[in-house]
Amino acid sequence: MPSSILPSVERGYLPYFLLFASLSALLHSISTYISPIPALQQFSGPLAPPKTPLLAHVYGMKNVYSGLIRLYAAYNISNPQLYDLATVTFVGVLVLYVGELWVWRTVRVQEGWFPLGRLCLRS
């Protein structure tokens, strides 16, 4: 049963990574609506804007779009347009984070670490 839901392993592990990234983004989107203020934890830099539900909802919608694009790409990895679009979602996140970190100073490096890296540092 689960093998019929998961992307084909014949395409390598990239579809699984995209599926994981997609589900993570979609779950975070849900959290921005359930508890909006804690979902904005990463915006804790010296010039961070006030944490409002509207900001959380906008951020959540961005995650919905990114998650859906990645989900489609996970199941259609051989489609070059979807592959490029999924790549752009990751480049967009990188550009957004670098801008927030170095230009607008609304985030700190501490909040930008990959979650696994944060877990390793805490233990």
Query: Is the pLDDT higher at 98 or at 54?
Result: 54
Q: Is the per-residue pLDDT at 8 higher than 50?
A: yes
Closest CA to 39 of 26, 21, 51: 51
Task: Compute CA distances 113 → 2, 13, 30, 97, whole Å.
Answer: 31, 23, 21, 11
This prediction has a pTM of 0.86
- Identify the domain containing residue 35 by its residue range: 2-122
Q: Is the per-residue pLDDT at 34 higher than 60?
A: yes
Calculate the average pLDDT of the chain: 88
pLDDT band at 114 (very low <50, low <70, confident <90, very high): low
Q: Into how many domains does the chain fold?
A: 1
Distance CA 28, CA 36 (A): 10
Q: What is the pLDDT of residue 1?
A: 56
Query: Is the pLDDT higher at 103 or at 108?
Result: 103
77-97 tens-digit pLDDT:
999 999 999 999 999 998 988
- Are 26 and 63 in contact by the 8 Å Cβ rule? The answer is yes
